[in-house]
Amino acid sequence: MSQLRLRSRQWIVDDQDRIIMGEGRKEILETIERTGSINQTAKIMKMSYKGVWSKIKVTEEYLNLNIVHADRKMGSRLTKEGKELLEKYRLLKESCIEADNQCFKQVFGGVWPVDGEGRK
């Protein structure tokens, strides 16, 4: 017998539904923070350098903030604003999961046990 649970994702989008911040960008920022390199981030995430850079630029342009500082000699790092964005997204995600779990419990009465064929 397995138990159902809710799984959801959050994206921050603009008025045309273009992603400004989501799980992918969160992972990009966390990896840059960990590695100090956009190039390493691209390799780890199996993306092109240009793909990673363009996602960063879209977010920066929309927010009118620099979130990553890239320096050929010193490597890349998150700016103060980049760290704040990452932390706020983490807090948002945590709050949303908590609220989603509350809604799930209200609708389904907590964890809803079912057998492997979807029967109660």
Residue 119 covered by a domain: no
pLDDT of residue 118: 47
Report how many domains make up the chain: 1
Give the CATH number for residue 102. 1.10.10.10
- 101 occurs within a structural domain: yes
Residue 86 placed within a domain: yes
pLDDT the model gives residue 107:
87
Q: Which residues constitute the domain of residue 38?
A: 2-114
- CA distance linking residue 60 with residue 29, whole number of Å: 12
CA distances from 83 to 66, 76, 87, 88 (A): 11, 13, 6, 9
Q: How far apart are CA 115 and CA 74, in angstroms?
A: 55
Q: Is the pTM of this model over 0.85?
A: no
Cα–Cα distance measured from residue 81 to residue 75, given in angstroms and rounded to the nearest whole number: 18
pLDDT (tens place) for every residue of the chain, 120 residues total: 567 778 889 999 999 999 999 999 999 999 999 999 999 999 999 999 999 999 999 999 999 999 999 998 999 999 999 999 999 999 999 999 999 988 988 888 755 555 555 444
